[in-house]
Amino acid sequence: MRKVIILGAAGHIARLAAKQLISETDDQLTLFVRHPKKLTDVNEKRETIVVGDVNNETELTAALKGQDIVYANLGPDNTDQMVPHIVKAMHTAGLKRLIWISTLGVFNEVPGKFGEWNKQMLNPSGYLPTQSKAAEEIEASDLDYTIVRPNWLTDKNEVDYETTGRHDAMKGTEVSRQSVADYVVKLLQNPTKDVRTSVGLNKPHTDGDKPSFY
């Protein structure tokens, strides 16, 4: 049994991953959230809600103590400002393993017309630059991280994905949230998998100039 803390635990992917962990493992989960009312389907025997802000190192450090793995599903805003607090709190709590959900394009790895479309969609809001800086900060740390870069997300009830490496061109244009959750669960079940690297996730055979739903 592992103790897993989920930062941003009310997010859609985080809840899918938590439900899969409850079903497939005996892990105990700590759900670290700012707004606990968003959590409406908690398994009280296996999930403990802790209310706090990742930018408050005192709150975060207290929640991290006694945990084994940190899974961060934060965003979309100001994630680069959160990373230093998370790294410091993990150091204080004696933790090394971090699974971080990012996005495609943070390493300028999306080729062709789709890559240009992705930049046009994500840059104006500041989302992509912020996520890129956060990824750089994590890579510069001494943590045993995995930076997960999902493609454009769908709510399809399917697990169908392939992976690309840190220095590979991103494939496809989309992937389901359920697929991202499945990959996260595999990392949590095998914490030595894909350490200190970044992995892109896409549904096979979805190449194009933009996702099918645009």
The whole-number pLDDT of residue 85 equals 98
Q: What percent of the chain lies above the pLDDT cut of 70?
A: 100
pLDDT over threshold 90, residue 76: no
Structure token digits, residue 34: 């700012």
Q: Average pLDDT of 91-101?
A: 98
Per residue in 30-49, pLDDT (tens digit) is 999 999 999 999 999 999 99
Strand 47-51 vs strand 28-33: parallel, antiparallel, or unpaired? parallel
The whole-number pLDDT of residue 77 equals 86
Q: What is the band of 186 on the pLDDT scale with cuts at 50, 70, 90?
A: very high
The whole-number pLDDT of residue 54 equals 97
- According to DSSP, residue 38 is labeled G
CB atoms within 10 A of CB 151: 28
Per residue in 128-184, pLDDT (tens digit) is 999 999 999 999 999 999 999 999 999 999 999 999 999 999 999 999 999 999 999
CA distance 198 to 182: 16
pTM of the predicted model as reported, rounded to 2 decimal places: 0.98
b/e map 172-202, b = 16+ CB within 10 Å: bbbbbbbbbbbbbbebbeebeebeeebbbbb
pLDDT over threshold 90, residue 88: yes
Fold of 3-202: Rossmann fold (3.40.50)
C-alpha torsion sign, points 59, 199, 94, 12: positive
- According to DSSP, residue 132 is labeled H
The whole-number pLDDT of residue 75 equals 82
Structure token digits, residue 185: 């669960």
Q: What percent of the chain lies above the pLDDT cut of 90?
A: 97
Per residue in 49-67, pLDDT (tens digit) is 999 999 999 999 999 999 9
Nearest CA to 41 among 16, 24, 64, 63?
A: 16
Residue ranges of the domains in the chain?
Answer: 3-202
The whole-number pLDDT of residue 125 equals 84
Residues 176/204, Cβ–Cβ less than 8 Å:
no
CA distance 117 to 136: 23
Instruction: Supply angle C-alpha 157, 210, 119, rounded to 5.
Output: 115
CA distance 14 to 1: 19
CA distance 163 to 151: 10
The whole-number pLDDT of residue 214 equals 96
The whole-number pLDDT of residue 189 equals 97
Indicate the residue type of 72.
A
